[in-house]
Amino acid sequence: MADFDLVVTGRVVGTATILDRGYVAIRDGKVERVGEGTPPQATERHDFGDAYVMPGAIDAQVHSRSQKGQEDFIWSTRSAAAGGVTTVVDMPYDDGVLICNAERFTQKAREAGEQARVDFALYATVDPNEGAARIPELVEAGAASFKFSTFETHPTRFPRISSPMLYECFAAIQPHGLIAGVHNENDESVRFFTEKVRQSGRTDYLAHSLSRPPITEALATAEVYEIAAATGCSGHIVHCSIGRGYDLCNAYRMQGFDTTIEACIHYLMLDEEDDISRLVGFGKINPPVRSKREREALWRHLAAGNITVVSTDHVSWSPDRKSNKDMLANASGVPGLEALYSLLLTGLLQRGLSPVWASRLLAANPARLFRLGHRKGALEPGKDADIVVMAHKPGRYDPAASGHNFVQWSPYEGIELSHRPVATFLRGKNVFDGKAVAEPGTGHFVRPAAAGAR
């Protein structure tokens, strides 16, 4: 009689060590045993040889509904499954619907549950006309975290939250033990520098970074952390393109505050000189992709342990929203779910860093950040059996080749990848076999643990 439902064997990658002849034994969708050597008997067994067996990624920043008529969860979670992402954390700025009350939040969770192929958690936010009033009902509805912006991208879809209101919101979140995540660009400064660029008549690829120089990001980051310190709330920067931001985060953390910070994969893999000059609008992201020098500073911070999580900030804009000759007129953001794990693992190995960093930055750390560690984030007994198998399959990335992406463009097209997902398991069930993905509705809504839990 079989001891387990499923056993997966290969080079099992934890957050500290790699088991070269490792196995993960699964029963009822949960990891029950992780070991090395001869694996136990199981009803089903998958032997992946020398491929890396790693925890499924939790993508901390996904925008499935930023443009009506585009991908929605039906496609974002398809890309996720094919990329080894087993949980997406979706942002609250949907096109036409700000997720700022329990009714809208619950409706989104229900609709996403009908479409999702992998598990999902949801950010919530506030309407600046209501302030912090609805935070308790959103916590009750299952929000894993709250998102705010110090810059006003759009007055109703993506509004700026003023400093006093940000303080009140952080104070309201603090008793619930969740994070307050913030889009970190100083509104006044960005508008000042943007106007200077417009007056100069500049419209090329450099116009974007000139409109948002590093000081605009550093000012907002410092403000967020100081408000977090004053309220006792867990303060999180949702994307940081400059080394100075990681310095600030570490300084507050050394003072005893719960400050965290996120590096999107584009800041680690792209640079302004070689990539944005080529991609132009298709590489426009807020905050901007910076210089090679700044990119390498981020890799040094990663190796020092100063980056909390790595995410995609995934959004699949239609090509017409990214191809304006005026750089500033293009939408901001890029797709990346299918390539996230491959890009980070490739970058780590190129720099002589261990794959265990991927297990930390893509799984264990985001699980703690969103208070999902009771279920997600590691190949450990009692956790959901969320697994990606990364095999050595060198080749250039082609976003149109797999058929798993809503849009056929990617800023990562042509990048040489060393490893690719060949299998993804969600709660012990195969949701990607190297070609096909699971059906819509396979994914479940995941709520955070009770206040104070990690």
Contact between residue 134 and residue 165 where contact means Cβ atoms under 8 Å apart = no
pLDDT digits (tens, 9 = 90+) for 139-174: 999 999 999 999 998 888 899 999 999 999 999 999
**Is there a cis peptide before residue 136, judged by omega within 30 degrees of 0?**
no
pLDDT at 434: 96
CA distances from 406 to 212, 320, 337 (A): 29, 14, 11
What is the distance between the alpha carbons of residues 304 and 261, in angstroms, rounded to a whole number? 13
Cα separation, 442 vs 454, whole angstroms: 26
Q: What is the identity of the amino acid at 259?
A: T
pLDDT at 2 over 90: no
* Tokens linked to 315: 């959004």
Which alpha helices (DSSP H) does 292-397 contain, by range? 292-303, 340-350, 356-359, 365-369
What average pLDDT does the segment 34-45 reach? Answer: 97
The band of 353, judged by pLDDT with boundaries at 50, 70 and 90, is very high
pLDDT at 157: 87
Residues of the chain with CATH 2.30.40.10: 4-53+382-432
CA distance 229 to 95: 33
Nearest to 440 by CA among 29, 61, 72: 72
Q: Does domain 56-369 have CATH number 3.20.20.140?
A: yes
- Number of other residues whose CB lies within 10 A of the CB of residue 237: 25
What tens digit of pLDDT does each residue of 69-107 get? 999 999 999 999 999 999 999 999 999 999 999 999 999
Backbone angles phi, psi at 39, to 5 degrees: -75, 155
pLDDT, tens digit, 9 for 90 and up, residues 185-208: 999 999 999 999 999 999 999 999
Phi, psi of 6 (to 5 degrees): -150, 140
Please give the average per-residue pLDDT across 389-406, as a whole number: 98
Q: Classify domain 4-53+382-432 by CATH architecture.
A: Roll (2.30)
- Intervals of CATH 3.20.20.140 along the chain: 56-369
- 387-396 β-sheet, strand order: 30-36, 18-27, 4-13, 42-55, 387-396, 416-426, 429-432
The DSSP bridge pattern shows strands 387-396 and 97-98 to be: unpaired
Strand-strand pairing, 97-98 and 145-149: unpaired
- As a whole number, mean pLDDT of residues 113-131 equals 98
Q: What is the pLDDT of residues 414-452, one digit of tens each?
A: 999 999 999 999 999 999 999 999 999 999 999 999 754
Please give the pLDDT value at position 452. Answer: 44
Query: Can you tell me the mean pLDDT for 381-404?
Result: 98
pLDDT above 90 covers a percentage of the chain that reads 97
Residue 114: is it exposed, middle or buried by C-beta count within 10 angstroms (0-12/13-18/19+)? exposed
Q: What is the pTM of this model?
A: 0.97
pLDDT value of residue 1: 55
Q: Which pLDDT tens digit goes with each residue over 210-259? A: 999 999 999 999 999 999 999 999 999 999 999 999 999 999 999 999 99
What gap in Å lies between CA 412 and CA 361, rounded to an integer?
A: 20
**Residue 454 predicted with pLDDT over 50:** no
- Which pLDDT score is estimated for 450? 74
* C-alpha angle 74-75-79 in degrees, rounded to nearest 5: 130
User: Can you tell me the distance from the alpha carbon of 228 to that of 272, in angstroms, rounded to the nearest whole number?
Assistant: 32
Looking at the chain, the number of H-run helices and the number of E-run strands are 14, 17
Q: Residue written as tokens 């070609």?
A: 435
pLDDT at 171: 98
